[in-house]
Structure 1
Amino acid sequence: MSFGPPASRPLLLLTAFFGGAALADDLFVDSQALPQVLTATRLKQSPAAVPGSMTVLDSALIRASGARDIPELLRLVPGMMIGYGAGNQPSVNYHGSNANDARRMQVLIDGRSVYRAGLATVDWSDIPLAMEDIERIEVFRGPNTVSYGANALMAVVNILTRKPVDSQGTRLKVTRGQRGINDWYASQGSGWDGGDLRLSLSGMQDDGFDQTRNGQDYRDSRRLNRLNLSVSHSLASNQSLDWQFAAKEGSNQRPYTYQPVFYGVTASGDNSDAKAKDYAGSVRWNIDLNPDHSLYLQGSAQHWDRQQVWRACDAALSFSPELTRLWQLNPNYAEQVARNIRSPIPRGSTDEQMLGRQVQQQWRNGGSSQVCGDIDQSTRETRYDLELQDTFSLSDNLRLVSGANYRYDRADSQTFFNGSLDDSTWRLFGHLEWRADEHWIVQGGAMYEDARLSGSSLTPRLAVNYLITPRHGLRAVYSEAVRSPDMFENNVNWSYRVNNLRPGAFGQNSAQYFVKTRGPGDLEQERMRSRELGYNGYFADADLSVDLKLFYDEITGMISEPLRNNQYIASNSNKARFSGSEAQLDWRLTPADRWRLTYAHVDAWASNPADRRLSAHNSGSAGWLRDWGRGWSSALFYYGDDELNQYRFERVDLRVAKQLRWQRTQLELAGVVQQRLDDEPTTFADNRYDSRHVVYFSAELEF
């Protein structure tokens, strides 16, 4: 008895599971065009040929989700963990990490990185891009330093915007709802001989979480306005020029969290809200030399500006020159003296005890009085990026993509860097795809990167894909990846000059706070080794896509220390392991019905417990999209995580929409209900809502 070639047996099992001779026929006979993705290797590839796991969120799914921002949309990606520090501070991690610091994922908008190298973060709330301008999001689920350099350690999120040629006409949209939701969007697209343009303006506003665990109001509302301009020119039959400009301004409330060091001093003070202004521009020149050879040159510039001035109160002794010297001599001893200022001086060296007695005497001589002053925690970051990429088909079965990249980063902050700090990075990358025959694909790539502040690295990737048919493939992947320590981790020079002291401290109206932190300056790169086995298949007759993945990832040299000005000593002393499985299924059951399921099982271990706090053991989503006819449609989604920072998360979202048409004019009215199924905080104990549900409505007009 024979069941076909050994490599085809997994597909036959899937055929048996989903049923029907139609699937069996489709498995080996299929004349439809293959879908393609770009993010994995920078080459256009069918999903079955990709050296890794991909999730594609298309425009229909984005609209049906009703998501107002990108982090909420990424709940549809298996293995993606979404947490919140506050209502306007989402944290997005793949497989998990520290709940506060999402530092190990590359995020791109049309190929332009929005990962901030200065403070190692992605400001998800402040990305200058409206949801309505997104065409699709491609997520490479796994390390991809080979294609995108350091910081693509665990995943790559590539946000692709709508092309101007596909954005003709006028779109107007307003959204209103509970929790202060107040969004708007307006765009105008036009074209001319040899060019197209899209200009969009948008705004977003909400109130964030309602209250803390103590029932106090939570200062975490956000307000922002955005501008996006995208233009495409046809220079010749084989050349085009695309350029974009984006700007954003807004404000994010921040809860007042300062805790005085000295006993008996109250924690009164004003808010620490942040005002944000972002600017980004890029130009890309595309050249098709011939059908088998193309290249592009892209340059971009970005600027992030965060103004954050807040008022804090502590004892006048906080600005003592003697306490400052004691901190520099021994931070642990200085903190022990400060927090137990009324107790006998602890044992220490002669110099430590001498300074400790002087500090204690200053406390008795008026240093215990409370003073308040302004703290300026503003930051500015600037980036210039230039990239050249060449794509060449060497033969019918051999393709090569290669290129070079130069990036310059600068961070300015009197608080964090005592001025400014800059870094420059060079990269050389290449990926070779060899189709040995109609079934076997061997792929290899490498990235060489040299950064002035963190040194050089070489990261490889090797993958073997076996195509049972062009739409069904098995894969085995080994890859290495790195994450460079950011400027803050490695080179922080953290100190506070407090201005407008009332009353003055030691006869000064402006003084340095005694706590000062310096980065080690010699941190090495984090390193990951990743192994993956997977299957990707598409059954055309059933319109069913399936992706399965088994993974084992190890990170060494992990930098896990929290970003705070309190004996902060960063090191490469930690490590972590992530293993498990993932599955995603997208099934267009009928022309009117689409089902989508995702699931991830993650076993996380880390030497530092904080690095596994945002790792849910089991997580996933389920969605049902339905076109009811006569302009009516609905989408029902379930999202669940069994443990995010020790809190469970379960939510059901329902979106119902009605479309009305008059000739070339279309009006869509939609309502969204989000219902929490659990009664737990979101990520942290202070993140609570008054109600477990929220409702908002939108009206969108196109003509």
Structure 2
Amino acid sequence: MSRDSFFCITVVFALLAVPIRSAIAQETGTVTGTASRAAEGDVLGSVSVTAAGTGQTTATGTDGKYTLRRVPAGPQTIVFRWLGYRPSEVQVVVEPGATVTADAALEAVAVSLGEIVVEGASRAPERITEAPAAISVVPEQVLQSTAVTGQAPLALQTVPGVDVTQSGVNDFNVNARGFNSSLNRRVLVLQDGRDLAIAFLGSQEWNGLTQSLQDLGRVEMVRGPGSALYGANAFSGVVNITTPTAREILGNRLTVAGGELESFRVDGRHASVFADGRLGLRLNGGYNRSDTYSRSRTELDGTSLQDEYAPATDEPVPPNREVLPLAGQSTNAAGEAIGDRDPLVNVYGAGRLDYYLDNGSVVSVDGGAARVENEIFVTGIGRVQVDKAIKPYVRAAWAADRFNVFGFWNSRTSLDPQFSLTSGLPLEERSDILHAEGQSNWNFQEERGRVVFGASARNTKVNTSGTLMNLLDDDRSDNLYSAYGQVEYRIVPQVRLVGAARFDEGDLIESQFSPKAAVVYSPTEDHSFRLSVNRAFQTPNYSEFFLQVPVAAPTGAPRTLEGGVEQYYQAIRASLPPSALAGLTITDNLPWNFPQLTPALALGNADLEVETVTGWELGYKGTLGEKVYVTADAYINRLSNFVTDLLPGVNPDYPSFALTDGVDLSGELTALDQRIQQLQAGGLITPQQAAQLRAPIPVLLGGFAQLSAGTRIQGGNALATLPDGSRAIVLSYTNAGRVTERGIELGLGYQFTPEVRGDVSFTGFDFDADEEEQAVGDQLLPNTPSKKATFSVSYTGEQGFDGNVSLRLVDGYQWAAGIFTGYVPASEFINLSAGYRVNNYFRIHATATNLLDQERFQMYGGSVIGRRILGGVTANF
């Protein structure tokens, strides 16, 4: 079957798999009005306005006004919602072809937990108290205050149980519940259903987002194994981003900001509706430039990393040297970097066109691209600098209350080669992901039960032009097919049973079945208790499957030793008669067969299996009174089949080869040395001849000992035989390890007044590793602190002032990922943000991250992160 046929069939299947309801022609009218604050009477922008039960929705503009078009004739309920305000309902009667007015005055109140609706836990809307998983929603105020940084992961820092580790200005890892890494992919990140991961590595490129944070809409963080609904790589959680339609953010916005690290940012957005409200258009674009926290590490004595880490830690730092400086710099005779670093640059833009049907469904097409320059990524084989890469995408969807059909194309191309700073080699990548998916949900037995089901198909193409993968495995195309479903049933009004399962079948993995079961007990709408068990898996990435890169320069030492021994044996036979050598073993032709230059390679393992986790979880969400919000989650996870770091002698495709296989060189040379001494003692050779014949032996024995030691890496023999029969130094991957981890995640929010709120979160983590299941030389560490906590206070005043201050405490911990192993020191970061709304059209704002400039690195091998203060102005019109 051709690829085009495959995707056509997939899309047709997805379309047929959902109950599509055609729009029914009916008489309609228009509803207009204004939303304002009840106390002061001043207008409110961005208030959600919906005609209940019709699917017609919009938002108020900066002047507080709105227009709902094509509202069915007859009695209607217009619902006004805005976070931090009590929902308001206005009853109107819509006449065909006429316009009716519905105004609302909203009263500021503490947020009720029962009013928050999420989708990430069940892939369908539900109240957060009834969600069968640990889930948090990032407040819109947090997205607004973080937007000036362009650093999306910062918005997740206060979520309980989440690790946000920063390596550079834009290089972040977002993880949940332990076992982080330098290129983490245990948390699936989706934007409108579109997987944002890099195809080759499976990790995130956070500076490749095509929208500003303040336009991301709703950001949910689901913690815990999630493969039952989301499949591969929803191992520890899911970040689910749902961007707004054009009619939900009508108007224009322009933000200009700048500050420390020579930062400059400009970002704009336009959203409008036309064609009598049937079409909506959203356009956005931006430019971001700044210096970097990263530093060149090229000093010849290997002290660059020691100097860089000196302000951040008192622990010893091993020597580390890279052969390339950062882009824009060069090196002097001592290897010191000179010149100015090239700035980090991000240029992005996107557009979306919506068609709003009368039945409330929305057909949309959106696309965009981001170009990233000069960012540094920490990988298992060292740091890599992305000189210039572009990430375009296209997405199409048809979404309604009961179904969602969508497909997307993601691509990534290295416009200029990426460079391994450790080896100096250029690395290229071109990847494409084509994905089609259909999903439906319906209720049964008078909404006591609900079924959610769907299916998807994905094709991934990766081509590294032989710079990262073996040419035989490169330029490849792989398919993945999936089907999933979830059934929920409320046996009594307070108790809901949930069962879910997913089946994944692909070219790179064996069939995977991921089940889930949960029971949710909700004595009231503001309290719920949850017990669940889940299974999830993580697929090895293309690098782990098919990597082929040098880990060191080729060496001629093995061939030099082999040739030296063979030439010495020839000289011995030419100098002594056969009778003098009787009884000795002399291997004239060594079985080593080293090439002139022996390569040192990091090679993937095409036979890797998936990593798995089974998790048991107990949770509570509740609102105590009208001011206190509490979440508590405890879990036990059992993880197994980890993909190890690069190790010697673990891949059967490259059989280990020992210098002692078929020959005891050390024994042969020692016995020969003794024989020569015996010949001298017997007067058969002169002392001068004996000295001449014995002189090479210590040199050869020393070379043999040095080669033996030099080819033992992480406790194992790294010499191997390649498929063509040649010898090489080989490091590869395998599956090994079994771990039990335990944790607790606590969150507490208190609404002191309608304007002031305090939040506290605490996360505790512990683990046990089964040493018998661990591979020799592999360091199985969670790369996460045993304790971390966040304290924050936020203020949102009705007079236009807003602010937030947070303190994040992180305990120190050991880190081991690839070539970087060491201790990450404890940190105490204070972040501060403040803003003033001059009027409905202008807002000035400032954000300070790491306000006290506590210099710390958050992953070993990453950059030391300092203070960054930014300020800006936003205009809405």
Q: Is the 8 A contact 1:307 1:377 kept in 2?
A: no
Give matches, 1:500-539, under 5 Å: 514-539=599-624
Shift of 1:566: 7.3
**1:469 and 2:647 equivalent?**
no
Aligned position for 2:163: 81
Aligned position for 2:449: 398
Aligned position for 1:198: 282
The amino acid that maps onto 1:633 is D
Aligned position for 1:647: 825
Q: Is the 8 A contact 1:650 1:677 kept in 2?
A: no
The structure-2 alpha-carbon separation of the partners of 1:459 and 1:175, relative to structure 1 and needing over 3 Å to count, comes to same
**Which of 542, 553, 558 lines up with 2:642 in the alignment?**
558
The structure-2 alpha-carbon separation of the partners of 1:258 and 1:147, relative to structure 1 and needing over 3 Å to count, comes to closer
Aligned position for 1:598: 761
The amino acid that maps onto 2:173 is S
Paired with 2:362 and 2:307, the residues of 1 have a C-alpha distance of: 58
Give the strand-richer structure, 1 or 2: 1
> For structure 1, which runs of at least 5 residues remain unmatched after alignment?
1-29, 261-269, 289-293, 315-372, 499-510
The structure-2 alpha-carbon separation of the partners of 1:101 and 1:229, relative to structure 1 and needing over 3 Å to count, comes to same
SS at match of 2:832: strand
The amino acid that maps onto 1:466 is Y
SS at match of 2:228: helix
The structure-2 alpha-carbon separation of the partners of 1:247 and 1:679, relative to structure 1 and needing over 3 Å to count, comes to closer
Paired with 2:784 and 2:549, the residues of 1 have a C-alpha distance of: 30
The structure-2 alpha-carbon separation of the partners of 1:600 and 1:35, relative to structure 1 and needing over 3 Å to count, comes to same
The amino acid that maps onto 1:556 is S
The structure-2 alpha-carbon separation of the partners of 1:257 and 1:522, relative to structure 1 and needing over 3 Å to count, comes to closer
C-alpha distance after superposition, 1:458-481 (max 9, x if no partner) = 010000111111221111111111
The amino acid that maps onto 1:422 is S
Shift of 1:560: 2.6
**Which of 197, 206, 210 lines up with 1:128 in the alignment?**
210
The structure-2 alpha-carbon separation of the partners of 1:256 and 1:64, relative to structure 1 and needing over 3 Å to count, comes to closer
Aligned position for 2:858: 682
The structure-2 alpha-carbon separation of the partners of 1:229 and 1:138, relative to structure 1 and needing over 3 Å to count, comes to same
Q: How many residues align?
A: 584
Paired with 1:98 and 1:258, the residues of 2 have a C-alpha distance of: 12
Shift of 1:311: 7.8
C-alpha distance after superposition, 1:501-559 (max 9, x if no partner) = xxxxxxxxxx99934444221111111010001111134x5143221001111110111
The amino acid that maps onto 1:658 is Y
Aligned position for 2:498: 443
Aligned position for 2:806: 637
The structure-2 alpha-carbon separation of the partners of 1:257 and 1:35, relative to structure 1 and needing over 3 Å to count, comes to closer
Paired with 2:506 and 2:646, the residues of 1 have a C-alpha distance of: 24
Paired with 2:429 and 2:124, the residues of 1 have a C-alpha distance of: 37
- Percent identical across equivalent pairs? 20
Shift of 1:595: 1.7
**Which of 428, 434, 454 lines up with 2:489 in the alignment?**
434
**Which of 186, 199, 202 lines up with 1:104 in the alignment?**
186
Q: Is the 8 A contact 1:78 1:619 kept in 2?
A: no
Q: Is the 8 A contact 1:604 1:612 kept in 2?
A: no
> Which has the higher Rg, Structure 1 or Structure 2?
2
Paired with 2:384 and 2:462, the residues of 1 have a C-alpha distance of: 24
Given the two structures, how large is their TM-score scaled by the length of structure 2? 0.62
Shift of 1:248: 0.6
C-alpha distance after superposition, 1:366-415 (max 9, x if no partner) = xxxxxxx9833011110000001010112221100001000111111021
Shift of 1:98: 4.3
Q: Is the 8 A contact 1:306 1:380 kept in 2?
A: yes
The structure-2 alpha-carbon separation of the partners of 1:202 and 1:64, relative to structure 1 and needing over 3 Å to count, comes to same
Aligned position for 2:876: 702
The structure-2 alpha-carbon separation of the partners of 1:638 and 1:435, relative to structure 1 and needing over 3 Å to count, comes to same
The structure-2 alpha-carbon separation of the partners of 1:546 and 1:254, relative to structure 1 and needing over 3 Å to count, comes to closer
**1:670 and 2:783 equivalent?**
no
Q: Is the 8 A contact 1:213 1:686 kept in 2?
A: no
Q: Is the 8 A contact 2:197 2:203 kept in 1?
A: yes
Q: Is the 8 A contact 1:46 1:471 kept in 2?
A: no
Q: Is the 8 A contact 1:497 1:513 kept in 2?
A: no
Aligned position for 1:658: 836
**Which of 300, 318, 339 lines up with 2:408 in the alignment?**
300
Aligned position for 1:8: none
Q: Is the 8 A contact 2:182 2:378 kept in 1?
A: no
The range that moved more, 453-462 or 109-118, is 109-118
Aligned position for 1:283: 396
C-alpha distance after superposition, 1:168-225 (max 9, x if no partner) = 1111101111112211111111111202111001122222216554257796852101
The structure-2 alpha-carbon separation of the partners of 1:623 and 1:98, relative to structure 1 and needing over 3 Å to count, comes to closer
The structure-2 alpha-carbon separation of the partners of 1:513 and 1:275, relative to structure 1 and needing over 3 Å to count, comes to farther
The amino acid that maps onto 1:247 is A
**Which of 546, 551, 572 lines up with 1:491 in the alignment?**
546
**Which of 444, 457, 460 lines up with 1:409 in the alignment?**
460
Q: Is the 8 A contact 1:632 1:658 kept in 2?
A: yes
C-alpha distance after superposition, 1:207-264 (max 9, x if no partner) = 221655425779685210110212221134253202221211120244999999xxxx
The amino acid that maps onto 1:673 is A
Shift of 1:34: 3.4
Q: Is the 8 A contact 1:143 1:479 kept in 2?
A: yes
Paired with 1:631 and 1:563, the residues of 2 have a C-alpha distance of: 58
Aligned position for 1:63: 144
The range that moved more, 295-304 or 62-71, is 62-71
The structure-2 alpha-carbon separation of the partners of 1:497 and 1:625, relative to structure 1 and needing over 3 Å to count, comes to closer
The amino acid that maps onto 1:597 is V
The range that moved more, 432-441 or 672-681, is 672-681
Aligned position for 1:21: none
**1:36 and 2:113 equivalent?**
no
The range that moved more, 628-637 or 562-571, is 562-571
**Which of 628, 641, 649 lines up with 1:544 in the alignment?**
628
**Which of 237, 247, 255 lines up with 1:155 in the alignment?**
237
**Which of 459, 466, 477 lines up with 1:422 in the alignment?**
477
Shift of 1:578: 2.0
Paired with 2:190 and 2:124, the residues of 1 have a C-alpha distance of: 16
The structure-2 alpha-carbon separation of the partners of 1:391 and 1:696, relative to structure 1 and needing over 3 Å to count, comes to same
Given the two structures, how large is their TM-score scaled by the length of structure 1? 0.77
SS at match of 1:590: coil
The structure-2 alpha-carbon separation of the partners of 1:391 and 1:311, relative to structure 1 and needing over 3 Å to count, comes to closer
Shift of 1:592: 0.8
Paired with 2:516 and 2:437, the residues of 1 have a C-alpha distance of: 21
**1:274 and 2:387 equivalent?**
yes
**Which of 509, 518, 529 lines up with 1:454 in the alignment?**
509
Q: Is the 8 A contact 2:146 2:152 kept in 1?
A: no
The amino acid that maps onto 1:491 is F
Shift of 1:45: 1.6
Shift of 1:432: 0.5
**Which of 293, 307, 321 lines up with 1:214 in the alignment?**
307
The higher-RCO structure (CA 8 Å, 6+ apart) is 1
Q: Is the 8 A contact 1:673 1:696 kept in 2?
A: yes
**Which of 218, 226, 246 lines up with 2:368 in the alignment?**
246
The structure-2 alpha-carbon separation of the partners of 1:312 and 1:684, relative to structure 1 and needing over 3 Å to count, comes to closer
The amino acid that maps onto 1:275 is K
